[in-house]
Structure 1
Amino acid sequence: MLNRIHPLAGTLALLTIPAFWMATVLSETFGETATVIAVKTAIPWGFLILIPALAATGGSGVVLARERSGALVERKRRRMAFIAANGLLVLVPSALFLSFKAQAGELDGVFFGVQALELLAGAVNLVLLGLNLRDGRRLGSIPRNRP
């Protein structure tokens, strides 16, 4: 069962992050102020999908990795630790801050500075999740260690 949950949850997370990222870039590049406010207000609600998907991915990955060892597994572990820290320490606080600023109509220099940080941190997490997906697919083709 975990062999199915892990890739499905990971794929959901991997699709959610670029959706947030593209909605932000497109709204701020081509949209009006009302569109930016709507997008920045909606993104924290998207955490109701993203955070459980990441938790399911991480939790199932930890359980699946108990049966594995090697460089690929260790790289995935290190990446997930960074992804989680980046999300909890940078992305979630940034998204909440930007949502509050947008709802207050304060699309100022501070807003756009934090927005740049959020886009960079989101891109980093997206790349790291993509690398984990690649390595997970490789692990799927390697027989498991049997005691």
Structure 2
Amino acid sequence: MKTFVHACAGTIAMILIAGFLTATLTSELLLDTTAILAVKKAILVGLCLLIPALAITGANGFSLARGRHSPAIDKKRWRMKIIAANGLLVLLPLAILLYRRADEGLLDGVFYAMQTLELLAGLTQLTLLALNFRDGRKLTRGKRLVAAKTSNAI
């Protein structure tokens, strides 16, 4: 069950981050300032889902890996530390600052510099989560094969 919860929470986090990035790029490139503000506000609301999803993913992952060591698990642990730091120290403050600047109508060079940093940090976050997802699938491959053989034998 822990593996299922871990996978679900990680998938939700990846979908949310991909959605934030898509909405940001769409609003910035194709829509007006009202849409940009709406997206920044939606991202803040979405963080209320993303932060718990990442926390559940990390906590479950560390619990599942307790006492286990392998190159894949060690990489996943290292990536989760980067994901947590990037999220708390870069993405969360930027989301708040970008919303405030958009709300005040300050869509200037500073806003777009911060927006660029947020997009890069968000892409980094999504990439690291995708790599962890890939490695998690590899780690559970044997369990899935045994489960498939067992269900086919019945």
* TM-score calculated relative to the size of structure 2: 0.90
Q: Counterpart of 1:33?
A: 33
Task: For residues 79-115 of structure 1, give each alpha carbon's deviation from its aligned partner in whole angstroms, at most 9, with x where no partner exists.
Answer: 0000100001100000000000001111011000000
1:68: how far off? 2.3
Structure 2 distance, partners of 1:137, 1:42, is 31
Which shifted more, 63-72 or 87-96? 63-72
Question: Are the structure 2 counterparts of residues 11 and 131 from structure 1 closer, same or farther at C-alpha, using a change threshold of 3 Å?
Answer: same
Q: Counterpart of 1:113?
A: 113
Whichever residue aligns with residue 123 of structure 2, its letter is A
Task: For residues 45-83 of structure 1, give each alpha carbon's deviation from its aligned partner in whole angstroms, at most 9, with x where no partner exists.
Answer: 101110000000000000000142110000000000001
Structure 2 distance, partners of 1:10, 1:116, is 24
Whichever residue aligns with residue 48 of structure 2, its letter is L
Q: Counterpart of 2:104?
A: 104
Structure 1, unpaired ranges of 5+: none
Q: Counterpart of 1:82?
A: 82
Bigger fraction of residues in helix: 2
Q: Counterpart of 1:11?
A: 11
Which shifted more, 111-120 or 66-75? 66-75
Whichever residue aligns with residue 124 of structure 1, its letter is T
Whichever residue aligns with residue 39 of structure 1, its letter is V
Q: Counterpart of 2:72?
A: 72
* TM-score calculated relative to the size of structure 1: 0.95
SS at match of 1:76: helix
Query: Would you say how many aligned residue pairs link Structure 1 and Structure 2?
Result: 143
Structure 2 distance, partners of 1:28, 1:38, is 11
1:3: how far off? 1.4
1:141: how far off? 2.0
Q: Counterpart of 1:60?
A: 60
Contact 1:5 1:60 in 2 (8 A): yes
Identity %: 50
Contact 1:41 1:102 in 2 (8 A): no
Bigger Rg over Cα = 2
1:142: how far off? 4.4
Structure 2, unpaired ranges of 5+: 144-154
1:14: how far off? 0.7
Task: For residues 14-52 of structure 1, give each alpha carbon's deviation from its aligned partner in whole angstroms, at most 9, with x where no partner exists.
Answer: 100010000000000000111011111221110111000
Q: Counterpart of 2:46?
A: 46
